[in-house]
Structure 1
């Protein structure tokens, strides 16, 4: 029976480098939270587990309402606008498909951000996204509406600052743009996966400053991941803040969120 080859020096060096990197990321994940800074209570975090049930219940209510209104006169469709959806940290654009479907039914042209899973920002990813927004705005001959969930909302706000002529409206959903960057229950996971501190992230500068375009923040008092105050912001950091009673995960697909987006886009 042939023996297995033994690892060579290069393999051991690679394993050693990997071990150092894993230790560094573990240290980032277990950094102490600043004194006085808190994320949502653990009860709210556990409440995120109920998101699928809430979506099912909300979808049943929406279907019943649609059936009851089939004979009613239908409203005139809103003016069609190009909309880009930006996913939250660690998620794929497919998670926001229910929002896209409702927006398309309202007459809008919807696209995702084109970068796959959102595992955090880098200078290259941000540059590619800026190019994509600029290209789409030229093709559409109209500035875009950017809808960002959680970390995706930070991308949206920063893109609007870089391309104010190509962005007409920014809508953030459970996005931690205001206050301390550790006032949430996701910063440790972010530092573990992204490999850098939230203070050193490529998008970490000037997060609270309002983009020079209409900016609406959707937030929830039930959010188990992001502190409601961080997602709602303060006057001057956004133009309006609207509260929805959904979980943080619910922002990606809840029918009430979808209806609110249609209303907000029609209003701005």
Structure 2
């Protein structure tokens, strides 16, 4: 087991600034990189092909998770869409439908389901794992705002508009910080232009971890380093989960995955990076 490091948390109340937001224009490039590197997906770790359910981000639907699901299907996983239309927040019946979907997949394949959630979809994945831990194998989130203030995202106004929630329920948002009891991985980027990266940092324990990638928020679901990290996590034998050990990787892999617990240093464009 690798030695644990602590990522110092800070209370963040503000969303990423204009420079980070402008860097979201990287998303098409990240998609292009994913397509260009597709022949090399064969080198990604392969697991035992258990079922995976993928959740889209805010105001997004299953089309946006096509790259993730196709990538996982090419590795042999039965990867499934959430099939709930656009993600407009906790609408009546959506959570119940997701629970039914997890139960169906568990019964169909006879194995616990891994949940992969992008942005707000990751919040869904975490909450579902808390409700039905016996049916969930692990949770992997990408740029999900489960910590900090909801105001620390550039999508908060959009969330208010599409969900109809005008006021912040501080108690409910505070409960999102609680970790699921199943293995949990948070993939995040310090140059995320939508969600303040501190809001995606998990307390690291024997069953929880953080993996930092170089990615935009909008393009994270197609970013090759994020996709590889997902494959690496899913490939672990059931019941033998261990935290990601970047020290075990050399060369290009070690460059792709920087130590998420490293000290921040002042940067004239990004503040503390």
| 8 Å contact kept, 1:134–1:163 | no
Q: Does 1:221 align with 2:190?
A: yes
| Cα deviation digits, residues 94-138 of structure 1 (max 9, x gap) | 111111111111111110111011111124111111111112111
What RMSD, in angstroms, separates the aligned Cα atoms of the two structures? 2.6
Matched ranges for 1:225-264 at <5 A: 225-235=194-204, 239-264=208-233
Cα 1:216/1:75, change in 2 over 3 Å? closer
Question: In 2, are the aligned partners of 1:149 and 1:252 still within 8 Å (CA)?
Answer: yes
Summarize the Cα distance change of 1:197–1:143 in structure 2 as closer, same or farther, 3 Å threshold. farther
1:65-104 correspondence to structure 2 within 5 Å: 66=40, 77-104=46-73
Q: Deviations over 1:159-181 (max 9, x none)?
A: 00110100010001000001212
CA distance in 2, matches of 1:241, 1:184: 19
- Alpha carbons of structure 1 residues 218 and 109: separation in structure 2 relative to 1, 3 Å: same
Structure 1 pair 188–77 and aligned structure 2 pair: CA distance change class (3 A): closer
The correspondence of residues 190-205 of structure 1 with structure 2, limited to 5 A, is 190-197=159-166, 199-200=168-169, 204=173
Length-normalised TM-score, structure 2: 0.76
Q: Give 2:177's aligned residue.
A: 208
What's 2:120 paired with?
A: 151
Does residue 52 (structure 1) correspond to residue 21 (structure 2)? The answer is no
Of the candidates 74, 79, 96, which is equivalent to residue 127 of structure 1? 96
Show the counterpart of 1:188: 157
Instruction: Give the direction of change, closer, same or farther, for the CA distance of 1:227–1:201 in structure 2 (3 Å limit).
Output: same
Unaligned 5+ residue runs, structure 1? 1-34
SS class of match (1:261) = helix
- TM-score, normalized by length of structure 1? 0.77
Separation in 2, partners of 1:75, 1:97? 18
TM superposition shift of 1:50: 2.3
CA distance, structure 1, for counterparts of residue 118 and residue 91 of structure 2: 18
CA distance in 2, matches of 1:75, 1:173: 18
Residue 176 of structure 1 corresponds to which residue in structure 2? 145
Candidates 115, 120, 135, aligned match of 1:166: 135
Residue-pair matches, total: 227
Identify the residue that residue 26 of structure 1 maps to in structure 2.
none
Q: Which segments of 5 or more consecutive residues in structure 2 lack a partner in the other structure? A: 1-10, 242-273
2:108 corresponds to 1:139 = yes
Q: Is the 8 A contact 1:210 1:238 kept in 2?
A: no
Distance 2:154 2:135 in 1: 33
Write out the 4+ residue segments of structure 1 that deviate beyond 6 Å after TM superposition: none
Distance in 2, matches of 1:47 and 1:237, equals 34
Q: Kindly indicate whether the alpha-carbon contact (under 8 Å) linking 1:48 and 1:224 is maintained by their aligned counterparts in 2.
A: yes
